[in-house]
Amino acid sequence: MSASAPIPGSGGLFSGFTRLSKGLAAVLVTGYLANAVFPHTISDAFALIPGRFIPYVWNIITAGYLETSIFGLVPSIGALLLAGRHLEPFWGSKEFMKFIVYVNLFTCASTFVLAVFLYFITRQGDYLYAPISGFHGILAGFLVAVKQIGPEQEIPVLKLRAKWAPSLFVSFGILSSLFFPAPIQIVPFIVFGTYGAWMYLRYFQKKPEAGLKGDASAEFAFATFFPVPLQNFVNPISTVFEKMFCGQRSQASIVGAPDVELGKPLPGSDSAEASRRRERGARALEERLSSSFKTVAEDLPVKETLTRARSSKGDLETSIESDKSAD
């Protein structure tokens, strides 16, 4: 992982955003503006409408990148730019994009299945023909990633530990849906985005430096998304679902990794690697969050010191050469 990768222009609060995050932000803005000009055309073509999935099969991909509300667009862009600043240097651009694509696809596909299921149960046509879209599923995934990298890190704006951010976002989505006529347009994306991101990071994210996949640490177990009193009840249920949907965790599946029998990791290798990764991630995340509130002017004394050091070094070398000539 690129934990020590520098962030260009990290001296200012609004600088240092990556090209990838800015490009995706431009996609969100373009989609919002296009929908504002051609509301029905854009929404029908790019939002997820389960009853019209055929022939609009691409909706299962595009729905997650279409924001139709300014109240959804603004926080989505802010979260995307910050995620690009803090997560992309840690993972790398390729892994950052892969994470977004996976979470979005999992979220939209799961929402599609849920909508069809609810229609057959209730026979309400809104489940099939109400357009569903928004970036909030991927946004939920970003919070899960922050929980994994630095669970004890405090989020400056919210003044809470990162490990509770996904749970609070899900709770907020469920509560806010009570005031909307169509909860399916909000809740499924947030819930499936959270679970999909956790599943990817837990089982599938490659770690070339350790020859492992995923994160089997107890601190990132599914039960940790729930309050402590409920974790003992959630653990047995989550274990059943993990075995049902994910099977045994595959390790050493990366090229060049040592051969390890499926489900039997090398003694202590996974927990040790996970502990090192969390420590590196927490340090990197804390440094980047702190650097967001510094100014470029703070670097000037350092540059002056380096210049003086180089000058002194040059004078010393000149003096040595003079002594040699005299001898």
Strand partners, 226: none
Does 263 map to a domain?
yes
Reported as a pLDDT band with limits 50, 70 and 90, residue 46 is: very high
Of 96-105, 131-140, 232-241, 293-302, the one with minimum mean pLDDT is 293-302
Q: What percent of the chain has pLDDT over 70?
A: 68
Reported as a pLDDT band with limits 50, 70 and 90, residue 21 is: very high
Q: How far is CA 43 from the centre of its chain?
A: 26
Residue 182 has pLDDT above 80, yes or no: no
Q: What is the DSSP string of 213-270?
A: ES---GGGSGGGGS-HHHHHHHHHHHHHHHHHHT-SPP-S-STTSPP--TT-PPTTHH
pLDDT at 234: 86
CATH number for position 47:
1.20.1540.10
**Residues 217, 263 contacting (CB under 8 angstroms):** no
pLDDT at 73: 95
pLDDT at 263: 38
pLDDT at 258: 43
Residue 277 has pLDDT above 70, yes or no: no
Range of the domain at 325: 299-327
Average pLDDT, the chain: 78
Does 56 map to a domain?
yes
Specify whether 257 is located in the same domain as 321. no
The closest of 54, 289, 256, 31 to 149, measured between CA atoms, is 289
pLDDT digits (tens, 9 = 90+) for 61-119: 999 999 999 999 999 999 999 999 989 998 999 999 999 999 999 999 999 999 999 99
Residue 232 has pLDDT above 60, yes or no: yes
Does 275 map to a domain?
yes
Residue 248 has pLDDT above 60, yes or no: no
Specify whether 89 is located in the same domain as 151. yes
Specify whether 182 is located in the same domain as 307. no
Of 28-37, 46-55, 215-224, the one with minimum mean pLDDT is 215-224
Which residue did the predictor score with more confidence, 264 or 149?
149
Q: How many domains does the chain have?
A: 2
**Residues 102, 196 contacting (CB under 8 angstroms):** yes
- Residues 7, 11, 12, 18, Cα dihedral to 10°: -10
Distances in Å between the Cα of 220 and the Cα atoms of 76, 84, 161, 278 are 25, 22, 14, 10
- 211 torsion bin: left (phi>0), alpha (psi -120 to 50), beta (else): left
Specify whether 112 is located in the same domain as 137. yes
Does 10 map to a domain?
no
Which residue did the predictor score with more confidence, 156 or 92?
92
Specify whether 68 is located in the same domain as 23. yes
Element (H, E) at 207: strand 206-207
DSSP helix/strand/coil, 294: coil
Looking from the CA of 241 toward its CB, the CA atoms found within 13 Å total 10
Specify whether 164 is located in the same domain as 311. no
Specify whether 97 is located in the same domain as 243. yes
pLDDT at 180: 79
Give the mean pLDDT of 162-186: 86
Reported as a pLDDT band with limits 50, 70 and 90, residue 31 is: very high
Of 83-87, 247-251, 258-262, the one with minimum mean pLDDT is 258-262
Specify whether 159 is located in the same domain as 307. no
| Cα 31–Cα 35–Cα 37 angle in degrees, nearest 5 | 120
Does 86 map to a domain?
yes
Specify whether 200 is located in the same domain as 323. no
Does 116 map to a domain?
yes
At residue 48, φ and ψ (nearest 5 deg) are -80, 115
pLDDT at 104: 97
Residue 197 has pLDDT above 50, yes or no: yes
pLDDT at 155: 74
Q: What is the pTM of this model?
A: 0.72
Does 222 map to a domain?
yes
Give me the amino acid identity at 154.
E
Residue indicated by tokens 């609004």: 14
Specify whether 303 is located in the same domain as 238. no
Residue 327 has pLDDT above 70, yes or no: no
Specify whether 252 is located in the same domain as 310. no
Supply the Cα-derived Rg of the chain in whole angstroms.
Answer: 24
Give the mean pLDDT of 292-314: 49
Specify whether 266 is located in the same domain as 305. no
| Cα 99–Cα 100–Cα 104 angle in degrees, nearest 5 | 115
pLDDT at 262: 36
Does 12 map to a domain?
no
Residue 142 has pLDDT above 60, yes or no: yes
